[in-house]
């Protein structure tokens, strides 16, 4: 165990001195930020259509958590960018979107639209609320967790190369949806098994909640 903590300390030092270690954020994470700034005002935080602007303008965005399952990525790209007259097959109302849904192709890049689609897919399959701020969560994750769980959450961080560890893979949506927010928060607070450290005393409740939300965005 002493050797383990020595290695952990060494890795945390590496992390502190190599800023390049923080990799590119996942698509769903980028998409979440764009959704909050561009779409939530009409579609609502949960994607069900109850956003404040939609209510004020008397618009009726669909409940995306129900419709998206039957839409391919190609169709979603067209709907969001406004390309091709926003035709959606399989839609009752003349198969065409009303003009109430803005054309985002003019202001968002292709990468941003792909990121939004990743987040919309996450929204329509997620079974748990976001309990904290994922932006804060990402910083904390890169600082304290990526060393074992891997930058993208696959459970393949650099510590797994020098010690016999099997950190949880956070990218599996079935496993992650099977854990409640409180299950994850408790695992972070109290630790798990021999190698998952207990973070109580190092991280406060708000930081742990932020981490839970970020970890959810790794599953896709
Ligand atoms: C001004 C309000 C408004 C904003 C902002 C807005 N939408 Fe919409 N959106 C709508 C309305 C209204 C509909 C439903 C249109 C219809 O039924 O014809 C819609 C429909 C959609 C659909 C089709 C859902 C389906 O399955 O039929 C998608 C996907 C969508 N919006 C994505 C987005 C994204 C992504 C953003 C942010 C980049 C966004 N919307 C921002 C109003 C808005
Ligand atoms: C020193 C390596 C290490 C670090 C650092 C680490 N973990 Fe872990 N973590 C593990 C291992 C190993 C497991 C699997 C434990 C087991 O199954 O015995 C695990 C399991 C977990 C689990 C699942 C627990 C369960 O009940 O199945 C969660 C959630 C988790 N870690 C979150 C985090 C978060 C968040 C951080 C950063 C604050 C973090 N871990 C930092 C090694 C680590």
What digits encode the pLDDT tens for the residues 29-67?
A: 999 999 999 999 999 999 999 999 999 988 888 899 998
* C-alpha span between 26 and 126 (Å, rounded): 16
Helix, strand, coil percentages, rounded to 5, for the chain = 55, 5, 40
Domain co-membership, 76 together with 158: no
Domain co-membership, 34 together with 109: yes
- Residue 102 gets the label, from left (phi > 0), alpha (psi -120 to 50) or beta, of beta
Which of 125, 151, 182 marks a domain boundary?
125
Domain co-membership, 33 together with 119: yes
Domain co-membership, 118 together with 37: yes
Q: Average pLDDT for residues 7-20, to the nearest whole number? A: 48
Output the pLDDT for position 75.
Answer: 87
Report the nearest-CA residue for atom 26 of ligand 2: 187
pLDDT at 113 over 90: yes
Report percent pLDDT > 90 for the chain. Answer: 59
Asked whether 149 lines ligand 1 (CB < 6 A), one says no
Asked whether 41 lines ligand 1 (CB < 6 A), one says yes
Output the pLDDT for position 34.
Answer: 96
Asked whether 219 lines ligand 2 (CB < 6 A), one says no
**16 in any annotated domain:** no
The strand pairing partners of 96, in sequence order, are 87
DSSP H or E stretch at residue 208: helix 205-218
Domain range spanning residue 64? 28-125
Which of 65, 100, 125 marks a domain boundary?
125
Could you report the per-residue pLDDT of 155-208, keeping only the tens digit for each? 999 999 999 999 999 999 889 999 999 999 999 999 998 899 999 999 999 999
Asked whether 204 lines ligand 1 (CB < 6 A), one says no
Asked whether 97 lines ligand 1 (CB < 6 A), one says yes
Three-state SS string over 84-151 comes to: HHHECCCCCCCCECCCCCCCCCCCCCHHHHHHHHHHHHHHHHCCCCCCCCHHHHHHHHHHHCHHHHCC
Domain co-membership, 174 together with 210: yes
Task: Tell me, in angstroms, the distance from the centre of ligand 2 to residue 25's CA.
Answer: 20
Best CA proximity match to 74, nearest among 47, 101, 110: 110
**191 in any annotated domain:** yes
pTM above 0.95, yes or no: no
Which of 72, 103, 125 marks a domain boundary?
125
Q: What is the CATH number of the domain that holds 79?
A: 1.10.760.10
Task: Tell me, in angstroms, the distance from the centre of ligand 1 to residue 61's CA.
Answer: 6
Higher pLDDT, 72 or 85: 72
pLDDT band at 220 (very low <50, low <70, confident <90, very high): confident
Let me know: does 31 contact 118? Beta carbons within 8 Å: yes
Domain co-membership, 102 together with 144: no
Task: Tell me, in angstroms, the distance from the centre of ligand 1 to residue 40's CA.
Answer: 10
Side-chain-side CA neighbours of 122 within 13 Å: the count stands at 29
pLDDT at 11 over 70: no
Task: Tell me, in angstroms, the distance from the centre of ligand 1 to residue 101's CA.
Answer: 5
| Ligand that lies nearest to the alpha carbon of residue 164, given by its number in the listed order | 2
Domain total in the chain: 2
* C-alpha span between 146 and 89 (Å, rounded): 42
Output the pLDDT for position 181.
Answer: 96
Mean pLDDT of the chain: 85
| Ligand that lies nearest to the alpha carbon of residue 68, given by its number in the listed order | 1
What crossing angle do the helices spanning 27-34 and 110-125 adopt, rounded to 10°?
A: 90
**14 in any annotated domain:** no
Could you report the per-residue pLDDT of 126-141, keeping only the tens digit for each? 888 888 999 999 999 9
pLDDT band at 16 (very low <50, low <70, confident <90, very high): very low
**168 in any annotated domain:** yes
Task: Tell me, in angstroms, the distance from the centre of ligand 2 to residue 217's CA.
Answer: 16
* C-alpha span between 83 and 36 (Å, rounded): 23
Domain co-membership, 182 together with 96: no
Asked whether 96 lines ligand 1 (CB < 6 A), one says no
Report the nearest-CA residue for atom 10 of ligand 1: 101
Let me know: does 189 contact 208? Beta carbons within 8 Å: yes
Output the pLDDT for position 17.
Answer: 40
Q: In angstroms, how far is CA 10 from the centroid of its own chain?
A: 29
Tokens for 177, please give them. Answer: 């949806």
pLDDT at 20 over 50: no
**195 in any annotated domain:** yes
């Amino acid at each position: 165990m002493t050797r383990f903590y020595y290695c952990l300390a060494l890795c945390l030092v590496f992390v502190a001195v190599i800023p390049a270690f923080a990799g590119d954020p996942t698509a769903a994470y980028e998409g979440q930020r764009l959704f909050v700034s561009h779409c939530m005002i009409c579609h609502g935080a949960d994607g069900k259509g109850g956003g404040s602007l939609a209510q004020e303008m008397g618009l009726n965005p669909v409940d995306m958590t129900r419709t998206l399952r039957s839409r391919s990525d190609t169709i979603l790209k067209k709907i969001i960018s406004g390309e091709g007259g926003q035709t959606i097959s399989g839609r009752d109302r003349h198969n065409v979107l009303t003009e109430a849904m803005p054309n985002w192709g003019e202001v968002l890049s292709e990468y941003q639209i792909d990121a939004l689609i990743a987040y919309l897919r996450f929204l329509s399959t997620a079974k748990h609320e976001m309990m904290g701020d994922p932006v804060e969560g990402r910083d904390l994750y890169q600082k304290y967790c990526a060393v074992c769980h891997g930058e993208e959450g696959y459970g393949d961080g650099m510590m797994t190369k020098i010690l016999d560890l099997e950190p949880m893979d956070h990218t599996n949506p079935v496993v992650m949806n099977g854990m409640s927010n409180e299950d994850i928060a408790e695992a972070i607070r109290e630790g798990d098994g021999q190698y998952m450290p207990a973070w109580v005393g190092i991280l406060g409740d708000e930081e742990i909640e932020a981490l839970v939300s970020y970890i959810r965005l790794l599953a896709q």
